[in-house]
Amino acid sequence: MTGSASGIGVVVITRDRRDSLLRTLDRLDALPERPPIAVVDNGSSDGSAGAVREAHPAVRLITAGRNLGAVGRNLGVAALTTPYVAFSDDDSWWEPGALRRAAGLFDAHPRLALIAAATRVGPDGRSDPLNDVLAASPLGNVPDLPGRPVLGFLACGAVVRREAFLGVGGFHPVLHFGGEEQLLALDLAARGWGLAHCPQVVARHDPAPAGRTGRNALVRRNELLTAWMRRPLRQALIRTGRLARDCRTDRQARVALAGAVRRLPRALAERRTVPDWLERQARALDSGDLP
């Protein structure tokens, strides 16, 4: 059984948040699972790489040299050799025992490609609102999965089967960062892999109070690009029209639409619509109920 310390590793992506990164690595190093850790530095200019080398010499450090966004995680997964990989950002980590439980679930469920964990936020560990959304997924129960099937997740609260993740190419470079999870979820499901919400696996997230400037526009941009890359034409056009209407009164919508237009030629070059059964599931999640 690979639900042991050697069966699961952790990939951390970071950029210009040295102090937060070092705190995260301290937390990960203290886990009873003692997972191997790969840190991908997305072009930091604050000395993060040197600080990791000094404080955590056992960590596998990958310096990307530029900001690859979510694609940095792909480099980390490729660098590790464990069959399962958990993701952390530089402001998130895993509760003791969570990784061992995740590895055990993967061992017991061969079709499982991704675990969407329960995420606890801040020093008081309050439940992330996404937990309730995942738990209420309308996709129903599937006998060969250990939790509610989902087509979405939070990257810093996810664990993947390395074979499945690399098999679909990981996170897509067109999206860079911000809501990059949906495209990966669709690509995994289209290959027949299962994704499940498993609340017994718990991640901790302690983001800066101010949040990240411009994230809303990035998420909306990537929702639209994902529709153009994987959803039927009608769905892509509907989403484009909605975002265009929002542009009249919403500056973030204008930023999102402009960003999507710039990336659209590359997105269309890699357009591959999902199977009909998967599109029906995606529409069920769009509407909140089965069609």
| Cβ count within 10 A of residue 83 | 16
Q: How far is CA 106 from the centre of its chain?
A: 17
- Domains, in order of start, for the chain: 5-205 (3.90.550.10), 215-287 (no CATH)
265 sits in which H/E element:
helix 251-269
* Residue 172 neighbours by CB under 8 Å, 6+ apart: 71, 180, 183, 184, 229, 270
Q: HEC profile for 187-235?
A: HHHHCCCEEEEEEEEEEEECCCCCCCCCHHHHHHHHHHHHHHHHCCHHH
pLDDT tens, 145-188?
Answer: 999 999 999 999 999 999 999 999 999 999 999 999 999 999 99
Mean pLDDT of the chain: 94
What is the percent of the chain where pLDDT is above 70? Answer: 95
If pLDDT is split at 50, 70 and 90, which confidence band does 1 have? very low
The secondary structure of residue 97, as a DSSP letter, is: T
Asked if residues 109 and 115 have their Cβ atoms less than 8 Å apart, the reply is: no
Asked if residues 193 and 164 have their Cβ atoms less than 8 Å apart, the reply is: yes
| Cβ count within 10 A of residue 57 | 8
* Residue 233 neighbours by CB under 8 Å, 6+ apart: none
Tell me the pTM.
Answer: 0.94
Dihedral-angle region of residue 87 (phi above 0 means left; psi in -120 to 50 means alpha; beta otherwise): beta
If pLDDT is split at 50, 70 and 90, which confidence band does 144 have? very high
- Give me 135's structure tokens: 């738990």
Dihedral-angle region of residue 169 (phi above 0 means left; psi in -120 to 50 means alpha; beta otherwise): left
The secondary structure of residue 49, as a DSSP letter, is: H
Give yes or no for residue 287 having a pLDDT over 70: no
For tokens 């999965």, what's the residue?
Answer: 145
90 sits in which H/E element:
none
How much is the pLDDT for 209? Answer: 78
Give yes or no for residue 106 having a pLDDT over 60: yes
- Give me 197's structure tokens: 């919400």
Dihedral-angle region of residue 123 (phi above 0 means left; psi in -120 to 50 means alpha; beta otherwise): alpha
Give yes or no for residue 289 having a pLDDT over 80: no
The secondary structure of residue 250, as a DSSP letter, is: -
- Give me 257's structure tokens: 């639409």
pLDDT tens, 29-54?
Answer: 999 999 999 999 999 999 999 999 99
Spatial separation of the C-alpha atoms in residues 109 and 163, rounded to whole Å: 14
Spatial separation of the C-alpha atoms in residues 134 and 132, rounded to whole Å: 5
> Which residues share a beta bridge with 126?
121
- Exposure of 288 by Cβ count < 10 A (0-12 exposed, 13-18 middle, 19+ buried)? exposed
Spatial separation of the C-alpha atoms in residues 155 and 89, rounded to whole Å: 8
